[in-house]
Homo-oligomer: A and B are copies of this chain.
Amino acid sequence: MKTLKVIKIGGNIIDNDRVLSMFLKVFTELKGPKILVHGGGKFATRLAEKMNIPISMVEGRRITDAATLEIITMVYAGKINKSIVAQLQKYQCNAIGFTGADGNTIVSHKRIVKTIDYGFVGDIDAVNTTVISALIEAEVTPVFCAITHNEKGQLLNTNADTIASELAIALSNDYNVELYYCFEKKGVLRDVEDDNSVIELIDSEYYEKLKLEHIIYEGMIPKLDNCFHAINANVKKVCIGKVEMLFQQNSRYTTIQK
């Protein structure tokens, strides 16, 4: 089986034109089939402010109401996704932008209300790989934004980390998939203040220990849950760190193991 890289980038790369452009150049130069997944960055919030759309909060959690979903669709699928695709084309990387609605690639359902109604947020049910694999074989690079759909005409806001892991898992039937989460730190840190305290290897047992010791907490928990979900479901390699891990020989980053 061929190796396929699924690479997720977040706001720290998207929000800085110079950094994004550098990343896309590096991304283009990576050999072999690849998929890019991008989050949203700060622009959606800025646009909502400009349009005087208040941020919906329930019990301290952000809600995707209809107005917010419209903004997210415009910013993620429009502005950010198409800017990335156009730049990749400049570097001769033949990219096509996707939401989960395009090609019916990622099907989700509106998150079921338990205590909080998150609004138009989608939890993924299925990834259809037919169109994605066909494009990859034609040397096209899919670029996914953080939007899925429910097959009933409704677009849904979906966590980009989860999109990356679910794509990686689904494509593991046909490829040796490597999943890379690029973020602002060198990896999972033992001391959040010290960028050199990278933990280079975490397995499930160690993960439990790190959570108990409160070394891994808050936002890192869903991120790492995604990583373990992927590595436990046939994804060959899962790494977290700065973009440098993709191309620098001796860079330090975190690798997740079963």
Contacts and interface: CB of A to CB of B under 8 A. Distances in A.
A147 interface: yes
Contacts of A97: 77, 97, 99, 101-102
Contact of A103 (B76, B94, B131, B152): B94
Contacts of A140: 103, 131
Contacts of A95: 101-103
A138 interface: yes
Given A50-B51, A138-B131, A82 B96 contact: no
A16 to B, nearest CB: 16
A70 interface: yes
B70 A99 contact: no
A98 B94 CA distance: 13
29 contacts: A50-B50, A70-B79, A73-B78, A73-B79, A74-B75, A74-B79, A75-B78, A77-B77, A77-B81, A77-B82, A77-B97, A78-B78, A78-B79, A82-B101, A83-B155, A86-B153, A89-B101, A89-B149, A89-B153, A90-B151, A90-B152, A94-B103, A94-B104, A94-B131, A95-B103, A97-B97, A103-B140, A130-B138, A131-B135
Report copies per complex: 2
Interface residues of A, number: 42
A255 interface: no
Nearest to A87: B153
A154 interface: yes
A163 to B, nearest CB: 15
Contact of A101 (B73, B85, B155): B85
A89 B75 contact: no
A149 B87 CA distance: 10
Interface in A118-176: 130-131, 134-135, 138, 140, 147, 149, 151-155
Contacts of A78: 73-79, 81
Given A73-B78, A102-B95, A86 B131 contact: no
